[in-house]
Amino acid sequence: MTWREVLSTGGPILLALIAAYGVDRVARQRGLDPPGFADPVRRLAAGGLVALVLWLVCFAQLGSLGAGAASTLDFAKVSWLRLFSVQIILVATLAGWYLLGFAGFGALAPGSAASPAAQFGWRHPRPGRELGLGLFLGLATWSLLIGLVLLVALAVAQFAGEEALPKSPPPAILWIVGLPAPLRLAISLSAGAVEESFFRGFLQPRLGAVLSTLFFVLAHLSYGSPFLLVGVTLLSLMYALIVRLRQSILAAAVAHAAFDSIELLVVAPLVLRLIGHG
């Protein structure tokens, strides 16, 4: 059995189970357990939810590495439900985990320290300031990221030759840019809110910035471009640092949404027109 066959069968499920166990174990060690997890049935159900979402969103795509699956997907047949499927899965998982951990313990009040906003990193004493900071960071990270990706591209061209550089944009990007502008905006806003809630609000306190970034990158394997994944990695580390410094995901979520909005509404369409794909 080849490594690809292993990854495409039991490998992703095993990795998801190990990761979910790690989330549970580290959360218990750091005192992050909800009161409902004193019940082993609730704990097991919550761990199963985490394993399921990590398998669906992060690890299931490992089996398609190098198989060109992204290029054979018929994007014209992708429904809006599938378009937002990752966000729907993440929201359902967070809601299920929260209810298993807190329902019946009086923690559902909005002002509670155990409220959903507090548990997933949305609370901050000065939310207006965080929103403004997030907008600024969303704009500022564009210049920084472009510079870093260009350095990576130059290094690749220097050591592997220019033929190693991508010659055309991934099909997924071409398809997304062709969607109506309101839909692209909805994708950007939902990505900022939902992905930050899960990867930075939920996973980062339990697994740390490096592992939460790894899972974030795995969730974006469908981009089908190593250079885009370099950008995703750098952005994720930036967002992780913002969350650590601000002790809230508000600024990172706004920065993420602003960055994606600029990318999908302005930069990507302009670049594609310039290279003859518009």
CA atoms within a 13 Å half-sphere pointing along the CA-CB vector of 134: 27
Q: For 25-51, how does the pLDDT look when each residue is reduced to its tens digit (9 = 90+)?
A: 999 999 999 999 999 999 999 999 999
| DSSP 8-state class, residue 1 | -
In this predicted structure, the answer to whether residue 70 has a pLDDT above a threshold of 50 is: no
Average pLDDT (99-123) is 82
In this predicted structure, the answer to whether residue 221 has a pLDDT above a threshold of 80 is: yes
Average pLDDT (87-112) is 86
End-to-end CA distance of the chain: 43
Distance CA 236, CA 232 (A): 6
For the whole model, what pTM was predicted? 0.86
Average pLDDT (242-254) is 95
The whole-chain average pLDDT of the chain stands at 84
Distance CA 143, CA 147 (A): 6
Distance CA 152, CA 144 (A): 13
Average pLDDT (71-87) is 71
What was the pLDDT predicted at 101?
93
Choice between 173 and 243, residue whose per-residue pLDDT is larger = 243
Q: For 142-179, how does the pLDDT look when each residue is reduced to its tens digit (9 = 90+)?
A: 777 777 766 766 776 667 666 666 666 667 777 788 88
Choice between 228 and 215, residue whose per-residue pLDDT is larger = 215
> Taking the alpha carbons of 194, 200, 205, 211 in that order, is the dihedral positive or negative?
positive
Neighbours of 277 (CB within 10 A): 15
Choice between 182 and 278, residue whose per-residue pLDDT is larger = 182
Position 176, amino acid: I
Distance CA 183, CA 186 (A): 5
250 close to 127: Cβ distance less than 8 angstroms:
yes
What was the pLDDT predicted at 61?
77
Residue 107 DSSP SS3? coil
Residue 173: which residues within 8 A CB-CB, separation 6 or more? 223, 225, 228, 268, 272
Distance CA 69, CA 71 (A): 5
| Cα-only R_g, the chain | 20
Q: Read off the tokens for 237.
A: 């580390």
84 close to 189: Cβ distance less than 8 angstroms:
no
